[in-house]
Amino acid sequence: DTAVSQTPKYLVTQMGNDKSIKCEQNLGHDTMYWYKQDSKKFLKIMFSYNNKELIINETVPNRFSPKSPDKAHLNLHINSLELGDSAVYFCASSQGIGTGDQPQHFGDGTRLSIL
Amino acid sequence: QKEVEQDPGPLSVPEGAIVSLNCTYSNSAFQYFMWYRQYSRKGPELLMYTYSSGNKEDGRFTAQVDKSSKYISLFIRDSQPSDSATYLCAMNFKAAGNKLTFGGGTRVLVKP
């Protein structure tokens, strides 16, 4: 039973298109995250939501817009895709924020390739 | 310079050997230190979590934190081919909430 699931697993699209990635967690967590992993394997946080409220918003182009319809779901919409957006996007979830000691559970990623 | 540095490897060891991994960091505010394992085409999986300095052992895994040197280590005893993966260190501090800062990962190959 998958804990953090992302769809789609692979996304190949043309530059300039708009696309969405979806994430769902069934762990009962109240905090969800989007990370970007580049070709050199660095994982960098993009956004974090706690109970549908935006908590972390890193320096990310405003072409990226997260949406959390409820605390079990976090989607990422990307407008006007650029070549540099090619990466693996990971969703994660955890219980609580602020203490720094709540382990984050990751999905298996969405591999985005821009042609 | 990255906030958290990790040798990308690959680190190749024979089965049964001890795997030694480490990360250095520059931000002395970091309090919580984690090691994640990432298999190819999978998400990171939490292996070890340590608060502040000291050692922590869990089965074949031992995590060490030396805050005075800004250096953390992970040791894997009796390594198995199934330990072949990329190992990522991550860290954060209370005021940062759950904003993890990751190293770039070390690729480990355990040869039978």
Class of residue A28 by CB neighbours under 10 A (exposed 0-12, middle 13-18, buried 19+): exposed
Quick one: how far is CA A45 from the chain centroid?
A: 9
| Cis amide prior to A69 (ω within 30 degrees) | no
Interatomic CA distance for residues A113 and A84, integer angstroms? 9
pLDDT, residue B64, reads 96
Structure tokens of A34? 């989007």
The amino acid at residue A6 is Q
Choose, out of A7, A9, A42, the residue to mutate when testing the contact with B (most B CBs < 10 Å).
A42
Q: Say what percent of chain B tops pLDDT 70.
A: 98
Domains of chain A: 4-97+105-114 (2.60.40.10)
The 3-state secondary structure of B20-74 reads: EEEEEECCCCCCEEEEEEECCCCCCEEEEEEECCEEEEECCEEEEEECCCCEEEE
pLDDT tens track for B28-60: 999 889 999 999 999 999 999 888 788 999 999
Region B85-100: what's the mean pLDDT? 86
Contact check, Cβ <8 Å, B43/A40: no
pLDDT, residue A100, reads 55
* Mean pLDDT over the full length of chain B: 93
Name the more confident of A42 and B17: B17
pLDDT, residue A98, reads 52
Domains of chain B: 4-111 (2.60.40.10)
What is the number of CB-based contacts under 8 A between chain A and chain B? 70
Residue A106 forms contact with B (CB below 8 Å): yes
Is residue A96 very low, low, confident or very high in pLDDT (cuts 50, 70, 90)? confident
Question: Do the bridges between strand A64-70 and strand A53-57 make them parallel or antiparallel, or are there none, so unpaired?
Answer: unpaired
